[in-house]
């Protein structure tokens, strides 16, 4: 345990930047939030420091954004919050959809289990060490990843029933 | 000698009369329309006035399937199974635009109208439809039952 708990997100950012010199860089914080880019190799360590030393006891959200023009094209975003100090920090990890993927933080936060499954379902980003990386919202036979920017918005993949019934033709024909 | 105490009719007519005035609805409520359906069966609008107040949550005991809500592709096989489990004769109301056409959920996950999976007798427009519209749909089902050529016996 570190002796000090940072009182502001900026202090947390400074602490992480010092501790993980090469792995943590400042990211965009357009609305005043503290946002840090973390390399995939170090994300588990960074999150562990936040959880164990800085009392970030709440993984509010873990999500993803697709930037088709970038390389790598995805950013996984961690929204960590401390209920005791009221500090919030965003972490971002750049990722592609290759194996083995971004290290899973499920061992640290059980809430990450379903978040990461949802990211896998919607974007196809994989998480190394995830205990149960399956689709969570869509069905196993669904092809592709629906929230990627290049997923055709008019594509229909019904489990049963006609894929291109009259309704489909009327709307998209 | 019996005066006016007799009424002659056909089995058909009696069956249809009985069926249309004792519909057992089974609500398949998956979204906000189901909340509106609750008010349809509650005291203010009172579906009981049309003999359809005995809401059953088992498809085996129901003959009117009211699909109230958005049906996702993942839910579609469930809806089909429930429809198949209902005994003949049976009727279906698609309540609200979601059940009728997919509504504004024109996306990868939503069934674009339950008529792509099961037959529908009456569509009710609205998001959600007013309770009066649902009552109207039940009356339309009753009219439909009355006009059926031969009511199947079993
Ligand atoms: S039609 Fe409107 S009220 Fe009904 S389920 Fe769809 S969104 Fe909800």
Which chain B residues have a beta carbon less than 8 Å from that of A161?
A: 76, 111, 116-117
What pLDDT sits at residue A27? 86
What pLDDT sits at residue A172? 44
Mean pLDDT score, B125-133: 95
Which chain A residues have a beta carbon less than 8 Å from that of B80?
A: 160
List the CATH number of the domain containing A32. Answer: 3.30.460.80
Ligand 1: centre distance to CA B70 (Å) = 6
| Cα(B129)–Cα(B31) distance, integer angstroms | 13
The three-state secondary structure class of B139 is: helix
Mean pLDDT score, B38-53: 93
ω into A72 cis (within 30 of 0): yes
Residue A46 lies inside a defined structural domain of this protein: yes
Beta strands A34-38 and A24-26, pairing class:
antiparallel
Backbone torsions φ then ψ of B148, nearest 5 degrees: -60, 140
What pLDDT sits at residue B85? 94
Complex ipTM, two decimals? 0.78
pLDDT band at B64 (very low <50, low <70, confident <90, very high): very high
Pocket of ligand 1 from Cβ distances under 6 Å: B 31-33, 69-70, 96-98, 103, 127-128
Which residue lies with its CA nearest to atom 7 of ligand 1? Answer: B127
What lies within 8 Å, CB to CB, of A85 at 6+ separation is A5, A6, A7, A54, A55
- Ligand 1 atom with minimal separation from the B127 CA: 2
Which residue lies with its CA nearest to atom 6 of ligand 1? Answer: B98
Of A138, A151, A171, the CB nearest to B74: A138
Share of chain A above pLDDT 90, in %: 69
Which chain A residues have a beta carbon less than 8 Å from that of B102?
A: 167
- Ligand 1 atom with minimal separation from the B104 CA: 7
CB contact under 8 A, A159 and B109: no
Residue A94 lies inside a defined structural domain of this protein: yes
Residue A160 lies inside a defined structural domain of this protein: no
Residue A157 lies inside a defined structural domain of this protein: no
**Is a pLDDT exceeding 60 seen at residue A170?**
no
Mean pLDDT score, B33-38: 95
What pLDDT sits at residue A173? 41
Which chain A residues have a beta carbon less than 8 Å from that of B106?
A: 171
pLDDT band at B138 (very low <50, low <70, confident <90, very high): very high
Chain B residue closest in CA terms to A167: B112
| Cα(B122)–Cα(A40) distance, integer angstroms | 55
CB contact under 8 A, B116 and A157: no
**Is a pLDDT exceeding 80 seen at residue B150?**
no
**Is a pLDDT exceeding 80 seen at residue A163?**
no
pTM for the full predicted model: 0.85
Mean pLDDT score, A115-140: 95
Give A63-90 pLDDT, tens digit per residue: 999 999 999 999 999 999 999 999 999 9
Number of domain units in chain A:
1
* Closest CA–CA distance from residue A142 to any residue of chain B (Å): 10
Q: Which DSSP letter does residue B110 get?
A: B
**Is a pLDDT exceeding 60 seen at residue B121?**
yes
Ligand 1: centre distance to CA B126 (Å) = 8
* Closest CA–CA distance from residue B115 to any residue of chain A (Å): 9
Give B85-97 pLDDT, tens digit per residue: 999 889 999 999 9
Higher pLDDT, A64 or A28: A64
Residue A171 lies inside a defined structural domain of this protein: no
Q: What share of chain B is helix, strand, coil (3-state, %, to 5)?
A: 40, 15, 45
Residue A35 lies inside a defined structural domain of this protein: yes
**Boundaries of domain holding A60:** 9-151
- Ligand 1 atom with minimal separation from the B32 CA: 8
Ligand 1, from B97, B107, B114: best to mutate by most atoms within 8 Å of Cβ? Answer: B97
Size of interface A-B (CB pairs under 8 A): 47
Mean pLDDT score, B43-57: 92
């Amino acid at each position: 345990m570190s002796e000090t708990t940072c009182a502001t997100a900026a202090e947390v950012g400074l602490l992480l930047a010092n501790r993980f010199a090469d792995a943590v860089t400042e990211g965009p914080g357009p609305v005043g939030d503290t946002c840090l880019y973390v390399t995939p190799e170090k994300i588990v360590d960074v999150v562990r420091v936040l959880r164990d030393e800085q009392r970030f006891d709440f993984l509010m959200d873990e999500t993803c954004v697709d930037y088709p023009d970038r390389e790598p094209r995805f950013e996984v975003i961690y929204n960590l919050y401390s209920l005791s100090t009221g500090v919030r920090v965003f972490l971002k990890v750049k990722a592609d959809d290759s194996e083995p993927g971004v290290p899973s933080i499920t061992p640290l936060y059980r809430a990450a289990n379903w978040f990461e499954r949802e990211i896998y379902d919607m974007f196809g980003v994989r998480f190394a060490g995830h205990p149960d990386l399956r689709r969570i919202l869509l069905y196993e036979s669904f092809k592709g990843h629906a929230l990627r920017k290049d997923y055709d918005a008019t594509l229909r993949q019904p489990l049963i029933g006609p894929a291109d019934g009259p309704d489909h033709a009327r709307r998209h024909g | 000698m019996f005066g006016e105490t007799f009424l002659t009719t056909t089995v058909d007519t009696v069956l249809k009369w009985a069926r249309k005035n004792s519909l057992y609805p089974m609500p398949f409520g998956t979204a906000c329309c189901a909340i509106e359906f609750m008010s349809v069966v509650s005291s203010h609008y009172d579906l009981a006035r049309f003999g359809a107040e005995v809401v059953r949550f088992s498809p085996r005991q129901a003959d009117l399937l009211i699909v109230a809500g958005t049906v996702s592709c993942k839910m579609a096989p469930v809806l089909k199974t429930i429809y198949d489990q209902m005994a003949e004769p049976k009727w279906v109301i698609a309540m609200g635009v979601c059940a009728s056409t997919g509504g504004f959920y024109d996306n990868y996950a939503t069934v674009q109208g339950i008529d792509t999976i099961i037959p529908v007798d009456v569509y009710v427009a609205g998001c959600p439809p007013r309770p009066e519209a649902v009552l109207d749909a039940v009356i339309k089902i009753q009219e439909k039952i009355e006009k059926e050529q031969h009511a199947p016996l079993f």
